[in-house]
Amino acid sequence: MYHCGTPPVLEHIGNGMYGAIVVNPSIPLPPAPGGSYTLIESEFYMSHGPNGTYVGNYTKMLTAQPDYVVFNGFANKYMKQPLVVQPNERVRLYLMNVGPSLWEAFHVIGALMDTVYIDGNPANVMHGLQTVNLAPSSGAIVDMYFRDPGGENPFVTHAFAYASKGALGIFQVAGGTTTTTTSTTAPPGVTVTIPSGASVTPPGYSPDIITVVIGMNSTVTWVNDDNTPHTVTDKAGSFNSGELDPGKSWSWQFTLPGTYYYYCIYHPTVMTGEVIVLAMH
């Protein structure tokens, strides 16, 4: 962590004058093909300022009763914009608690931390942790694996009085277990299945809502496992599979961030889906 050291330091850090530096070791850590993210927890102590703005409140800072506790500056940001990780691949998290006053108990629900380097030091290694306890100014490098393709793993500070103030998000695990009848090899990315009976029993696309990241897994492949033709048609007109016969697949690579709503032309009321496309962080 680095920060402004002008007195009162509490006020300067509480107003956002901080940052994190990641120093790569001389002997590199193992690669993390499953994804890599930096998560900085901090606190906001607010008062109304002029013209509808907010300003830091030093009196509140002295009581250590924040209005918001957040990751990367935004309350609940990664609930609406989940962080995408690859299944069964090493994921690396660079954690930092800048405070200025509260301890952080970083926890990922439904997963264990395989390897933790306390304070980012490769010599300080721990394994199999559920929670990393970070004092203000403390950090850690966390390597972990997500075993449930297509699943969602929330992450929080396990001091739940503060998690409810905005310090929570979701890891979206890419992929999903599908059975296909096509011999086509799908490109790297996410697979969506059109299951048997899709035109009768929702959801017609499985999963019907996915999140992808440009440059990581932004090619989506739809596989028709039903016994009748369907389509994958963007409501805004940016892509259209045409008629997708049983046992066939179709792929589309997303290159622009946004939310894409699509449907089957033949079964528009039952078969709808959504692709959330994020830029690389």
pTM: 0.64
Region 34-47 average pLDDT? 95
Q: β-strand 83-85 against 168-173: which pairing, if any?
A: parallel
pLDDT at 186: 42
Q: DSSP secondary-structure letter at 228?
A: S
pLDDT at 281: 52
Mean pLDDT of the chain: 90
Residues 6+ apart with CB under 8 A from 266: 199, 229, 230, 231
How is the chain split into domains, by residue range? 2-173, 190-278
Region 17-37 average pLDDT? 91
pLDDT higher at 43 or 54? 43
pLDDT at 60: 96
pLDDT at 21: 94
Q: How far apart are CA 244 and CA 252, in angstroms?
A: 13
pLDDT at 216: 79
Q: What is the CATH number of domain 2-173?
A: 2.60.40.420
* Bond from prior residue into 8 cis (ω within 30 degrees of 0): yes
Q: List C-alpha distances in Å: 192 to 3, 20, 56, 180, 211.
A: 45, 38, 46, 10, 12
Q: What proportion of the chain, given as a percentage, has pLDDT over 70? A: 95
Within 13 Å, how many C-alpha atoms sit on residue 239's CB side? 20
At 178, is the pLDDT very low, low, confident or very high (cuts 50, 70, 90)?
very low
pLDDT exceeds cutoff 60 at 246: yes
At 188, is the pLDDT very low, low, confident or very high (cuts 50, 70, 90)?
low
Region 31-51 average pLDDT? 92
pLDDT at 280: 64
At 185, is the pLDDT very low, low, confident or very high (cuts 50, 70, 90)?
very low
- Which of the given ranges, 13-17, 86-90, 233-237, 256-260, has the highest pLDDT on average? 13-17
The per-residue pLDDT for range 79-103, each reduced to its tens digit, is 888 999 999 899 999 999 999 999 9
H or E segment to which residue 60 belongs: helix 58-63
Q: How far apart are CA 229 and CA 247, in angstroms?
A: 9
pLDDT exceeds cutoff 70 at 181: no
H or E segment to which residue 156 belongs: strand 152-157
Q: Between vectors from CA 174 to CA 173 and to CA 175, what angle results, nearest 5°?
A: 125
Task: Give me the CATH topology for the region 190-278.
Answer: Immunoglobulin-like (2.60.40)
Same fold, 2-173 and 190-278: yes
pLDDT at 49: 83
pLDDT at 187: 45
